[in-house]
Amino acid sequence: MAEHVLERRLGLGHATAINMTDMVGIGPFITMPMVIGMMNGPFFLYAWIAGAFLSFVDAMVWGELGTAFPKAGGSYNFLKEAYGKNGAGKLMSFLFVWQTMIQAPLVIASAAIGFAKYFSYLVPLTPLTEKVVSGSVVVLIILLLYRKIEAIGKISVFLWSGVIVTMFWIIGGGIAHGNFLAPLREINTGINIDYAFVTAIGFASVKSVYSYLGYYNVCHLGSEIKNPSKNIPRSMFISISGIALLYLMMNISVVSVIPWQHAKNSEFVVSEFIQVLFGRSAAKVATCLILWVAFASVFSATLGYSRIPYAAAADGEFFAVFGKLHPTKNFPYVSLLFLGSLAFIFSMLFKLSDVISAILAMRIMIQFIGQAVGLMILHKAKNRVEFPYRMPLFPLPVILAILMWIFILISTGSSLMEGGLVIISFGTIAYFIKAKLRREWPFAARTM
C-alpha cells in the first residue's frame, strides 16, 4: 500500500491569501474599540503601528526557520531542530504541540465567538443562541476543510475576495464622506511619552498584535508550499505590509466619521460607521461582509493548526492516530476533527474577552521566544544549517523580537503569565513521564 504524503500544491497567491484571511478575521473589528479605550486618545494608531513592527521583525525569524525546514507543523519542527532532535528539542517540540492542543482551539473558538457577537447586530441573540451560532460556525468550517488541499487553496482565494471588498468599502467610505486626514493631523494631540503611555501601549498592543497573528500560517503548511525558499518569506512580508496598511486606513477611516471618544465604547463600531454614512440597510450588508471575514479567518486558522499534531504524530513524537491522512483526500483528518471538536466545546464555554490575552500569553514563551532563541542556537551550531532566506543585520532583529515579545508577555498580566507557566509545567511533567516509559531523552541509554 502506497504511503500518503502531503503534496506541494500551494503557490505564492494561495499562501498569501491563507495568511491574510487568517490575519484579518473578526480581530480588528472587535479590538478597535479596545485599543482606542486603552490608549484613550487620538494617538491610539501607534498601537497598530507597534503591532505591525513586531510582526515584521518576528517574520524574519519565521522566514529563516520556515525556509530552512519547510515541513508541515511549523514551530514543531523549528523547535525540534534548534534544540536537538535527540535532545532538548524533544521536550520543546512536545511542549509546543501540548500548548497548541489547547491554544489552537481557543483561537478558532475566539473567531467563532466574535462572529456570533457581530451577528447579533443583525439578529438579537440570547446568551444561548449566541452559543448556537458560534458552535455552528466551527462545524461548518470542519465540513469545508474536509477536502483536498488544492480545493482549499481556491476556497481561500474566494474568501479573501470578500475580505478585500469589506476593507475597501470601509476605507472608501471614510475617504469619500469623512475628514479622512484629521486623525493623522491629531495623532500626537495630548501625547506624553511617560510610564503611563508605555504601559498603555503595552496593554493596547496585546490586542493589536492579536489582530496581526496569522502572518506565519504559511509555515504550518510548509510541506504543501511550492518553492518554499521564496514563497514562505514573500507571503509573510506581503501579508504584514498589506494588512498593516489596511488596518491603519480602516482605523483612520472609522474615527474620521465616528469620534474616538464614542468609538471606544461601541460594540459594533464598523457597523455604526457604515450606518452613519449609508443608513441601516447598508450597515446590515457591511455586517454580513464582516461575518464573511470572520468566517474566512476561522477557515484559514483551522487549516494551519490541523497540520501541527499531524506533523508531531508522523514524526513519532505524538499519538499515532493524529498522523493518519484521509485515504482518498490526503489530509490529516483526525487532527482536523479533534481540534475542531475541542474548538466547538470552547465556543460553548468561554467569553471572547477571556481568550484574546490568554492566546498570546500561552504561545509567547514556547513558540515566539523559544524559536527566536532556537534560531540563534542554530546559527552558532558547528554543522551549520542552510538558510535559503537570510535576515538583514542578524542577530539584531532576533534580539529585538525577543525583547518585544517579553514586553507583550508582561503586558498580558501576571495571572495569564502564571497560567501559561502552569500549562508548561504540566506539559513538562507529561513529557518526562512519556520519555521515561519510552526511554527517550533524557532517559535514553547512551550510545557510542
φ, ψ for residue 294 (rounded to 5)?
-60, -45
The domain in which residue 163 lies consists of: 12-438
Question: Range with the lowest mean pLDDT among 17-26, 96-105, 249-258, 326-335?
Answer: 17-26
Question: Range with the lowest mean pLDDT among 204-208, 246-250, 295-299, 392-396?
Answer: 295-299
User: What is the average per-residue pLDDT within 231-240?
Assistant: 96
pLDDT value for 353 = 67
Whether the pLDDT of residue 4 is over 80: the answer is: no
3-state SS class at 35: helix
Provide the grid cell at 242: 498589506
Q: Could you tell me the CATH number of the domain that includes residue 94? A: 1.20.1740.10
User: What is the average per-residue pLDDT within 113-123?
Assistant: 91
Whether the pLDDT of residue 1 is over 60: the answer is: no
Cα(360)–Cα(206) distance, integer angstroms: 8
pLDDT value for 70 = 93
> Residue 148 carries which side chain, given as an amino acid letter?
K
> Residue 15 carries which side chain, given as an amino acid letter?
A
**What value, to the nearest 5°, has the Cα angle with vertex 418 and ends 414 and 421?**
140
pLDDT tens digits, 146-155:
877 667 767 7
User: What is the average per-residue pLDDT within 346-352?
Assistant: 84
Provide the grid cell at 330: 490526503
Cα(403)–Cα(425) distance, integer angstroms: 23
Among 140, 156, 110, 98, smallest CA distance to 358 is for 110
Whether the pLDDT of residue 40 is over 60: the answer is: yes
pTM over 0.75: yes
Among 399, 403, 410, 301, smallest CA distance to 361 is for 410
Cβ-in-10-Å burial (0-12, 13-18, 19+) of 417 comes to middle
3-state helix, strand, coil in the chain (%, to 5): 75, 0, 25
Please indicate, yes or no, if residue 227 is contained in any of the structural domains.
yes
pLDDT value for 3 = 46
> Residue 283 carries which side chain, given as an amino acid letter?
A
For 98-133, the DSSP string reads HHHHHHHHHHHHHHHHHHHHHHTTTS---HHHHHHH
Whether the pLDDT of residue 100 is over 60: the answer is: yes
- Nearby residues of 445 by Cβ (< 8 Å), 6 or more positions away: 439
Question: Range with the lowest mean pLDDT among 54-58, 145-149, 199-203, 279-283?
Answer: 145-149
pLDDT tens digits, 350-371:
877 667 788 888 889 999 999 9
Please indicate, yes or no, if residue 7 is contained in any of the structural domains.
no
Could you tell me where the DSSP H helices lie in 306-349? Answer: 307-314, 333-349
φ, ψ for residue 221 (rounded to 5)?
-105, 25
Cα(382)–Cα(367) distance, integer angstroms: 24
Please indicate, yes or no, if residue 445 is contained in any of the structural domains.
no
The domain total for the chain is 1
Cα(379)–Cα(389) distance, integer angstroms: 13
Q: Judge whether 16 and 235 are in contact, CB under 8 Å.
A: yes
Provide the grid cell at 406: 517579553
Among 327, 331, 18, smallest CA distance to 147 is for 331
Q: Judge whether 262 and 273 are in contact, CB under 8 Å.
A: no
Whether the pLDDT of residue 312 is over 60: the answer is: yes
pLDDT value for 448 = 43
Task: Give CB contacts under 8 A, 24+ apart, made by 378-384.
Answer: 378/68, 378/81, 378/82
Cβ-in-10-Å burial (0-12, 13-18, 19+) of 331 comes to buried
